[in-house]
Amino acid sequence: MASNPADSDVGGGADLLIRDALEQLACVKDELFLDFSTVRRIDPHTLQEMDRLASAAQDASVRVTLRNLNAEVYKALKLSALAERFSFS
Amino acid sequence: MTQTASTLTEHRIAYIEGLVRQGKAAAAVFTQYTQDDVDRIVKAMVLEGLSRAQHLAHLAIEETRLGVLEDKTIKNMVAMEFVYDYVRDKRTVGVIRELPGCGLIEFAEPVGLIFSITPITNPTSTVLFKCIMAVKTRNAAIFGPHPKAWRCCSEAVRIMYETAVKHGAPEGVFTCLESPTVADNVYLMHHRDVRLIDATGGPGAVKAAYSSGKPALGVGPGNTPVYLEKSADLDMAVVDIITSKTFDNGTICASEQTVVIDDEIFDDVLKRFADLGAHICNDQETNLLGRSLIDPETGFMRPIAIGQKATDIARTIGLRVNNGTKLLVAPIQGVGRQHPLSVEKLCPVLSIYRARSVEEALRVCVDVNHAGGLGHTAVIFSSNDEIIRRFGDVINAGRIIVNSPGSIGALGGVYNDLVPTFSFGCGTGGGNSTTDNVNVYHYLNIKRLARRAQAHMWFRVPNQIYFNRNAVENLRQFASRSTVIITNPALEQIGLLDIVRRSVSQQAFVRVLTIPDAEPEVNVINRGLETLKAHRPDQIIALGGGSVIDAAKIMRLRYESPDADLDELAAPFLDIRKRAVPFPAGSANRVRLVAVATTSGTGSEVTPFAVLFDQERSRKVTLADYSLAPDVAIVDPQFVMSMPKRLTADTGIDCLTHALEAGVSIFASPYTDSNAMQATRLVFRYLRRAYRRPQDEEARGMMHNAACIAALAFSNASVGVNHALAHAFGARFGISHGKANALMLPHVIAFNASVPTKFMPSPNQRGYNAHKKYATIADLLGLGGHTVAEKVQRLVAAVEELLDDLEFPRSIAEMGIPREEFDRAVPELAITAFDDPSWRSNPRMPLLSELQELLWLAYQGRHQSAAPESSECNRD
């Protein structure tokens, strides 16, 4: 289990967070927590990265839980059919 | 051969799926944007579009070979400048409108990914327009241009896309199909991630869009009729028509097609057309044009002339015209297949028709309208407003342009205040979903947040109520020329009529109308009406119980509003303020209605209700309206001193039922509560005394007041299920109203105090509180008890004790009604009670089965009511 707070803002900030998460996947057991509290907005590139993260997590049998996600970003995930591939707390 | 999505190669499908993926992601991301974000992006796009207007016009002309460079440039600029002028201040993100008076807030929700089909005739302008619309509404779009215009469209999309993304729009927000095919369109129209199809184009594309099963904005071809009426400003009209019909060589589908000209001005108009550069065709030339331009198989125009210059068309078909000819004008003799030029011609060819009358002109315009132009556009030039309005009424067109050019007029924002657009909705006439000029609001889902409304309540009472002994003497202060006193013979015999007569103003000429002491029948009302007509009173005094006062209310209504239809006025309603049939508005010089009550129960002296018995149809007609209420009520105990003992008990319990039902009604308010509670208190304090000692004037007076006060409450809060049931079984078994109420009352209190199976919608109330209000009444009566349940129980017990003291039967069975007969009657009684409007203000909505249960409880008798302590509602 790992927690990974990020200092992110509109768009690209979240990318760093996801890149770190992708790197940690190999050494995490069961569940990975990502703190999205500072992510105000995501862009199409971030969506792609999150898609990649979801696939990698599935392959590694790791559940990725997004913490403190704002409703606007959650809605964007929902509309792009990504929400069901993550857990939220 | 029809192309379908199945003809696509795997490679092509992968390409299209890529576009969809980008668009879907962009649309999802776009939902996070603010109004400021999109406004900033839109502004940048508009500025870029304006600077590239001529460049894109060049590309369009080069690729399509249609239209006029200068006009296409203007169209591109209109698509930017005029559309921007309309949308710049519009809110399209988040809260877009607040209606505080209605408690409504409207929010904008983007539709998502749009598949946008654009036409060959206005390729780049339509793309520019739709890009602005998409960004302004936070949507993404895939463009499917006409196959013969895709390069110029692709460039327009590229310019808009790069500018948008540069200023913050999500990547993938616009894409454009390269080398598009019909099969691409079909595939995208059925794609699950495409949320809306916006098809501006030919009828095939529009029909396919609507057939896809997806929400679609499909806007198609037209056939614009023009009525050039004799009162028109001809200088303006002819120039406007030429301007419009030659604009971009007639490629705008709103441009004029057939001009119907009044006979009186026909020759003059033709000369003006010719003077300004139009060629007027003779019969042979008209035939040649028809044969050449219109396909006789389909009846539609051939592509050869679309968007071409008049001189080029003439040259192509072998028609000799002067150099510089702007327009070919072809007289036609009718509309339809025999007159090929009566259809849409997207080129500078204009049909004209000579009309011998206004009616003929309108008929021909209707024919043109129905020959392919339904729902689209029509034009009239006239200064006769009546004819303009008739034209607007008979023509089915989303845009009816008056005294201005059709094509530019329909685009909006230049000659009028229509919404600027490049997509004309044609309504159901054109197989479209809207008649609007399509704009940003068609790209949004509008969400409405509706706050709970603070119900407008009321408390309406008669102007004047006089009470206590000799209150009747107040009659003297009311000036009257002619007074009619309505009463019944019994009251005349015991001298009550004389008391009233002595109190009426000396100046009044007084007539007496005696009527039977029973629910007023139609013939009684009609007889009374004749008396009123004969004596033309300025004052009516009703002396009697509920029946007499009700009769007087209805007579006054009929006298003042002879056309009032009592059947219509008796139509059922849920809310007196929203009733389907309003009562006639009272005149300024109404006849004063004074009610002198001689019983202490119905409260008719202050209520807005009146019951009429329609003997012919054997039914009661209940009228309810505040205009029925008397103007003056006299509550003078001397008129009730001789009430028989049984009547005292019956009317007293009727009064108590009014008060208790108004107290828990869903229309109860602090105003009605105060009256309901005070009336209840007075009944418990004085009814026994009045019953036991009929000459106890204080008790009589207080019960008389109680009845009036309870009536003030239920006039504004109404009654409940007790009355509905009492009306039903009272009428069925001939049981007096008071007794029927008494038999139900303890059971109904217990029923209302328990958890409802079904709650009544009641915006006036916050939560279910009938049990608490009964408990408050119990407190007021000093009945004791610690919990709400205990208090309700004690109230029920107190009511039962009162009923026993007043010697009411304890059950319907005690009334001598056989069980079998009651058993047979119960299902219908429940239905009758459910039809009764009285229960609609009851706090608990009664189910039919519950009405039956209540009837059985009343049959079996008191002390068997459902125990309220088991109920959730009886918690403190």
3-state SS, one letter per residue, for B489-521: HHHHHCCHHHHHHHHCCCCCEEEEEECCCCCCE
CA angle at A71 for the pair A65 and A74, rounded to the nearest 5°: 50
Under 8 Å between Cβ of B602 and B588: no
Q: For residue B138, which residues of chain A lie inside 8 Å, CB to CB?
A: none
Q: What residues of chain B lie within 8 A of the CB of A85, using their CB?
A: none
Q: What is the mean pLDDT of residues B447-471?
A: 89
- Selected catalytic residue, list B152, B253, B347, B873: B253
Nearest to B217 by CA among B491, B434, B531: B434
Average pLDDT over residues B527-546: 96
Residue B638 has pLDDT above 90, yes or no: yes
pLDDT at B875 (0 to 100): 43
Closest residue in chain A to residue B113, using alpha carbons only: A79
ipTM surpassing 0.95, yes or no?
no
Name the pLDDT band for B3 (thresholds 50, 70, 90).
low
Note if B281 is an active site residue: no
Minimal Cβ distance to A44: which of B29, B31, B112: B29
| B170 neighbourhood in chain A, CB within 8 Å | 43-44
What is the average pLDDT across B6-30?
95
- Looking at residue A3, its pLDDT comes to 38
Cβ within 8 Å, pair A80-B171: no
* pLDDT mean over A38-62: 94
pLDDT at A9: 45
pLDDT for B616 equals: 77
Confidence of residue A2 (pLDDT cuts 50, 70, 90): very low
Predicted confidence (pLDDT) per residue in B363-415, tens digit: 999 999 999 999 999 999 999 999 999 999 999 999 999 999 999 999 998 89
Answer whether A80 sits within 8 Å of B25, measured CB to CB: yes
The residue with greater pLDDT, B244 or B5, is: B244
Residue B100 has pLDDT above 90, yes or no: no
CA pair distance B310, B257, nearest whole angstrom: 14
Instruction: Report chain B's mean pLDDT, rounded to a whole number.
Output: 93
What beta strand segments (E) does B319-442 contain?
Answer: 327-331, 349-355, 375-381, 397-402
CB pairs below 8 Å between A and B: how many? 41
* Span B766-780, average pLDDT: 96
| Beta-carbon separation of A73 and B32 below 8 A | yes
A79 and B24 in contact by Cβ < 8 A? yes
Percentage of the residues of chain B whose pLDDT score is greater than 70 = 97
Which one of A67-81, B254-268, B610-624, B825-839 scores highest in mean pLDDT?
A: B254-268
| Beta-carbon separation of A76 and B26 below 8 A | no
pLDDT of residue B588: 60
Distance from CA of A27 to the nearest CA of B (A): 30
pLDDT, residue B722, reads 97
pLDDT given at position B749: 98
Give the pLDDT of residue B218. 81
Closest CA to B227 of B189, B192, B256: B256
CATH number of the A2-88 domain: 3.30.750.24
Contact B598, B430 (CB under 8 A): no
Answer for the pair B704, B600: CB distance below 8 angstroms, yes or no: yes
Q: Looking at the complex, report in whole angstroms how far the Cα of residue B112 sits from the nearest Cα belonging to chain A.
A: 9
Q: Tell me, yes or no, if A34 comes closer than 8 A to chain B by beta carbon.
A: no
Q: pTM for the complete prediction? A: 0.82
Quick one: closest CA in B to A73, which residue? Answer: B32
B354/A contact by beta carbon, under 8 A: no
Q: Is the pLDDT of residue B213 over 80?
A: yes
Note whether B440 and B136 are within 8 A (CB).
yes
Instruction: Burial-class residue B293 by CB neighbours within 10 Å (0-12, 13-18, 19+).
Output: buried
Task: Please state the separation of Cα B192 from the chain's center in Å.
Answer: 34
d(CA B419, CA B87): 10
User: What is the average per-residue pLDDT within B131-159?
Assistant: 97
All residues of chain A having their beta carbon less than 8 Å from the beta carbon of residue B22 are 44
Å between B12 CA and nearest CA of chain A: 22
Mean pLDDT of B73-85: 95
- CB-based contact, A20 to chain B, within 8 Å: no
What local confidence, expressed as pLDDT, does residue A7 receive?
35
Q: Does A9 touch chain B (CB under 8 A)?
A: no
What domains can you pick out in chain B, each with its CATH number?
5-219 (3.40.605.10), 224-411 (3.40.309.10), 461-579+588-642 (3.40.50.1970)
